Amino acid sequence: MTEKTHLRAAGIGLAALLAGTTLAAGAQTKEAAPRKTAPAAKKGAKPAEKKVAPKPAITEDTEDPAIWGQEYPLEYETYLKTVDQVRTKYGGSEALPRTPDEADPRSVVSQEKIEEDPRLKTMWAGYAFSVDFREERGHAYMLEDQTFTKRQAVVKQPGSCMQCHASTVIPYRKLGDGDPVAGFHKMNAMAYMDARKLVSHPVACIDCHDPATMQLRVTKPGFMEGIRAWKESQGVKDYDVNKQASQKEMRAFVCGQCHVEYYFKGSDKQLTYPWANGIQVDQIQDYYDRIAFKDWVHKITGAPVLKAQHPEFEMWNQGIHGRSGVTCVDCHMPEITYKGQKITDHQVNSPLLKIQASCTRCHADVKPDELKARVEREQDRFFALRNTAMDSLMLLISDLEKAKAGGKTDEQLVTPRYLQRRAQFYLDFVEAENSTGFHAPQEALRILAQSIDYSRQGQLAIRDPSFKPTVAVVSVPTAAPGPNQSTAPAAPGAPAQPLHPEPQPAPGAQPRR
């Protein structure tokens, strides 16, 4: 058995364990046990009726996807393939072996992104991601990887994380005594490890499908509340996503439940989507400024900074595919022919790994190789400008560090620190977004250009106290640590300067092949 086969087999075993079952076709050996020959029936005797075990009914209490898989076996088989780890040029993950220990039983992990590009440690100095930030793996690992990340050791993470790392329909309902929204708010306020005891599966069928009709539905209260606030900003009051969204919208909303920007509101860490002003990065930045929110105080500069999460839904909305009505499902879960039947692919991976199914339905006149090349050209442009923006931020952080050491006061540094806050959030918004710019290429480049400009303005503000930036400066208090402040020491060897003078890939941050 090759190493690749061994890792694949280990992954399938994990998915089977998470689902509470074994994968019949993939986990068994090729040599089947010899079948016993049935005794010959007596002449004239009636043939015995075959007893067929009834399939278990799928209800609102059916959380285990393996039970749903008895009714929908082909969709379930592709769902189990979310254990696969395959790289594209700029995305995907690589299966790396590790030795399990008492703190972390995982034997396979993905690559550490903060080692591929150490500038990330500087950007996130004082935040848990500067300690551990690995490439995302498939849905099969979403709960396990969140449970065993080193970030758990340096920040007391809340139960809020469960909304997007676990199947929560039944746990929320039980915790809320029948009211899932009440259960959501209760779990948010819990410590992560206490909440972890209440969930059993990563995202499952019940989180996206009505068990009675199989229609798509939204079950995550964070999204329900977030989109209600967004719609209200557009003049639509009391929006109910499950009653008012179209079927096409639902093919994006079910994914947007989790692939979004969010923050923890208040002392009880209520998971909140910052969409009250809209979903563009400028509107989200203004929302955070208005409420004077910060995720943490930057360990090197003292700036009140923000951490973007994974705003795929927000960026997709700004791109040509989103504006043309092409949804997440169309590209990441296309219709495929699997074992002779047409089904929706539940592997949920990169369209670049299945271009024929994902892209050629619309782009029928373009060869798959050319479609792939077009995507990678867009991503190449993004990645080059991303590196320029990252270097610009490193220079601003370095200048702020020197200004502090040189005796500049907090009052004198309000403006450059605020410009770091903006430059960093804009860069992180598209850095944390998982399409390497492709969901909205023009918008992604605009955001990076804006980030570069804010970094340069921050440097000017340090050198010239009379400098007036192009945006109004908001003073965000820094006396108290942010809700996500890390207790870990500054990461060693994290340089507060650019890794290269020209816009080219940084050492260790080369395009992934």
Tens-digit pLDDT profile for residues 330-346: 999 999 999 999 999 99
Residue 234's φ and ψ, nearest 5 degrees, are -95, 5
Per the document, the length of the chain is 513
Q: How many Å apart are CA 124 and CA 110, to the nearest integer?
A: 20
Task: Please list, in sequence order, all residues whose beta carbon lies within 8 angstroms of the beta carbon of residue 170, skipping any fewer than 6 positions away.
Answer: 60, 61, 63, 206
Rounded Cα–Cα distance for residues 99 and 81 (Å): 24
CA distance 236 to 446: 29
Q: Which of 46-50, 85-89, 291-295, 390-394 has the lowest mean pLDDT?
A: 46-50
Give the tens place of pLDDT for each residue, 459-499: 999 999 999 999 999 999 988 888 877 776 655 544 444 43
- As a whole number of angstroms, the distance between CA 120 and CA 307 comes to 12
- Give the pLDDT confidence score for residue 45 in this predicted structure: 58
Q: pLDDT band at residue 502, thresholds of 50, 70 and 90? A: very low
Whole-number pLDDT of residue 51: 67
Helices and strands in the chain: count of H runs, count of E runs: 23, 8
Does the pLDDT at position 508 exceed 60? Answer: no
Confidence of residue 47 (pLDDT cuts 50, 70, 90): low
pLDDT at 7 over 50: no
Residue with tokens 């009140």: 304
| Average pLDDT score over residue span 311-317 | 98
Rg (C-alpha) for the chain, rounded Å, is 25
Q: Distance between CA atoms of 331 and 84, rounded to whole angstroms?
A: 18
pLDDT at 19: 44
Residue 10 banded pLDDT, cuts 50, 70, 90: very low
Averaged pLDDT, 113-139: 96
Asked whether the predicted pLDDT for residue 6 surpasses 70, the reply is no
Average pLDDT, rounded, for the chain: 88
Predicted confidence at residue 479, as pLDDT, reads: 81
337 strand-pairing partners: 342
Which of 492 and 270 is assigned the larger pLDDT?
A: 270
- For residue 18, pLDDT over 80 is answered with no
How many CB atoms are located within 10 Å of the residue 346 CB? 23
For residue 31, pLDDT beyond 70 = no
**At 194, is the pLDDT very low, low, confident or very high (cuts 50, 70, 90)?**
very high
CA torsion 219→221→225→228, rounded to 10°?
10
Which 3-state string (H, E, C) describes 398-431?
A: HHHHHHHHCCCCCCCCHHHHHHHHHHHHHHHHHH
The 10s digit of each residue's pLDDT in 238-257 is: 999 999 999 999 999 999 99
Q: Quick: pLDDT tens for 70-97.
A: 999 999 999 999 999 999 999 989 999 9
The C-alpha atoms of residue 254 and residue 214 are separated, in whole angstroms, by 13
* HEC letters along 262-304: CEEECCCCEEECCCCCCCCHHHHHHHHHHCCCCCEECCCCCCE
* Lookup: tokens for 330: 């169309």
Predicted confidence at residue 481, as pLDDT, reads 81
The greatest distance separating any two alpha carbons of the chain, rounded to the nearest whole angstrom, comes to: 107
pLDDT confidence bin for 307, thresholds 50/70/90: very high
Average pLDDT value for residue range 3-30: 40
Alpha helices in 81-206 (DSSP H): 113-116, 119-123, 142-148, 151-154, 162-165, 169-175, 180-188, 192-196
pLDDT given for residue 49 in this prediction: 63
Of 56 and 317, which is predicted with more confidence? 317
Task: Give the pLDDT confidence score for residue 46 in this predicted structure.
Answer: 61
pLDDT, mean of residues 13-23: 41
pTM value is: 0.86
Confidence of residue 347 (pLDDT cuts 50, 70, 90): very high
> Do the Cβ atoms of 202 and 346 come closer than 8 Å?
no
Q: Which of the four pLDDT bands, split at 50, 70 and 90, describes residue 309?
A: very high
Query: From CA 191, how far away is CA 319, in angstroms rounded?
Result: 37
Q: For residue 114, is pLDDT > 60? A: yes
Residue for token pair 């139960």: 159
Count of CB atoms situated within 10 Å of the CB of 257: 24
Half-sphere exposure of 329 (CA within 13 A, CB side): 16
Is the Cα torsion angle 92, 247, 262, 319 positive or negative in sign? positive
Residue 486: predicted pLDDT: 74
